[in-house]
Amino acid sequence: MDPLGIKGTYMFTPPVHGDERGSFHEWFRSDDLRQHAGHSLNLAQGNCSISSKGALRGIHFADVPPGQAKYITCLRGAILDVVVDIRVGSPTFAQWEAVRLDDKNRACLYIGEGVGHGFLALTDDATVIYLCSEPYTPSREHGVHPLDPEIGIEWPSDVEPVLSPKDAEAPTLEEAHRAGLLPDYQSCLDYYAKLG
């Protein structure tokens, strides 16, 4: 498990064992996550998303505490998965990092509480599954516009993004900050420490 440049995010590429029958790999291990992140993932919900090419989902986040950590992989097709540091006071505030998750590399991504998350489907039938530390609760869920020029995510130019009405109407990072929607970095660090 390798840390990304944004604190609280990790990428894991599991070894895949294959033969004439197919393949096998362990896509999630609680002990590995605990060793690297310093805490386990409280498994509260599992989601499956199937997207057409160009579907752009996010940038989503939840109020901290308790937030919503996610552990994500792509079972079929390919996505560009993006994390955005939206934690006010973080040394990497407004920075983003992207990784490709697909059915070849079998890579997985862990995203800690308070970090923004979104992905773009690079293929049709891109099938993404993710484990969540807390159940979806609409009253504490928020979004930041994924095409906000202040964040400046470099989405692939050869894929036309298709947003849901909710994501298309999401505030910019600055608007979300002014509205008091963004998590506080120190509060997130304090929450992470309690998880350990």
Residues labelled as active-site residues? 60, 130
DSSP secondary-structure letter at 138?
Answer: G
Instruction: State the Rg of the chain over Cα.
Output: 16
| 80 vs 126: CA distance, rounded Å | 10
Closest CA to 2 of 153, 113, 108, 133: 108
| 80 vs 157: CA distance, rounded Å | 12
What 3-state class would DSSP assign to 25?
coil
Name residue, tokens 């998303």. Answer: 49
Cβ proximity of 30 and 110 under 8 Å? no
β-pairing, 162-163 with 55-62?
A: parallel
